[in-house]
Amino acid sequence: MVRKEINQLLAILEVELKNILRERGTVGFSIFFPILISLSTYSVGTGILGKPPSLELWFYQLIGFTILMITIVMSASSAWYIRQGLLSRRLEYIFSAPVNPIIIIASISLTSGILGFGIFLTVGLIGVIVTYGLSNLSNFFISLLILIIALIPILGINLIIAAATIIGKEPEAISQPVSAIVSTTSGLAYPITILPFILKIIGESMPYYYAAYYVRSIIEGYFNILSLGNLPFLFLYLIFGFVIYRYFENNYIRKEGAYGI
């Protein structure tokens, strides 16, 4: 029974990974983007200060922009999956097939997670070697494990985005405000201490801030095990996301169908 479901998950995963590999340009851009933007702001900083700023500061932004890229890829892929599925009637066939929707959603999320992990591995490795040399490489590989755990609650937010796309219909219009709020409040490109109080609270209540914090603190060697205490609460996002998505799926897609959308 379980074996059948694992086979289904692997089959969908294979198809989705092939889809990603077909779009090499997008993958290349996702890797290039954090490096390009962080170097741009570094050059702005050099211009303002009149001398090159510390490489640790560049690394701070590089890690932040990489996690931002992962966030955008993950949230946009959930939204587009629902929209394209509705437009092409693909969801009709998927829901009528003897495949549990959870397996479909899990495999789609897993695919974007693998892509995100690949982006982080490539960009992070370049950043660590340039900034710290080979000395912090072991820390970097440990941070990869923490990143995987920290990305799991983010999947819950992706499910909420997928649910919102069922009603809002426009994937970009749904995922764009999420990306804007996450980018601004999560301390990805700058410390959240400089934000107004209300934005700081929004940032601290979402998993993105913790993903960036855990990764940076492990690589730079100031990680405190007590900070992991927030992690179990972040998993509530996964539960909420799952419940909200199932509600919208059952009450809108399955009842009303893809027609007329």
Partner 1 sequence: MEYKFKNFIITKISAELGKGLKIYTRNKVWIISDLISTPFWVIFLFLTLIFYAQYLLNNINVVTSLMWGIFLFIFMNSFMWAGNSIVQSVESGIIDNIILTNTSLTIHLLGRNITGMIDILISGVIALLTSSYIFGATLSISEPILFLFLL
Residues lying near partner 1 in the complex (CB under 8 A): 41-42, 44-46, 48-49, 53, 57, 61, 168-170, 172-174, 176-177, 179-181, 183-185, 189-190, 194-196, 199
Cβ–Cβ under 8 Å, residues 100 and 50:
no
The identity of residue 131, as a single letter, is T
First to last CA, the chain: 35
188 vs 238 by CB, closer to partner 1: 188
Q: What gap in Å lies between CA 56 and CA 29, rounded to an integer?
A: 24
41 vs 139 by CB, closer to partner 1: 41
For the bound state, the minimum distance from the C-beta of residue 34 to partner 1, rounded and expressed in Å, comes to 12
12 vs 37 by CB, closer to partner 1: 37
Q: What gap in Å lies between CA 110 and CA 21, rounded to an integer?
A: 15
Cβ–Cβ under 8 Å, residues 147 and 215:
yes
Using DSSP's 3-state secondary structure scheme, residue 145 falls into helix
12 vs 195 by CB, closer to partner 1: 195
For the bound state, the minimum distance from the C-beta of residue 180 to partner 1, rounded and expressed in Å, comes to 4
For the bound state, the minimum distance from the C-beta of residue 178 to partner 1, rounded and expressed in Å, comes to 9
For the bound state, the minimum distance from the C-beta of residue 78 to partner 1, rounded and expressed in Å, comes to 16
176 vs 230 by CB, closer to partner 1: 176
13 vs 199 by CB, closer to partner 1: 199
Q: What gap in Å lies between CA 218 and CA 143, rounded to an integer?
A: 6
For the bound state, the minimum distance from the C-beta of residue 41 to partner 1, rounded and expressed in Å, comes to 6
Element (H, E) at 113: helix 101-132
Cβ burial 109-145 (10 Å sphere, 16+ → b, else e): bbbbbebbeebbbbbbeebbeebbeeebeebbeebee
For the bound state, the minimum distance from the C-beta of residue 69 to partner 1, rounded and expressed in Å, comes to 14
Q: Backbone dihedral region of 169: left (phi > 0), alpha (psi from -120 to 50 degrees) or beta?
A: left
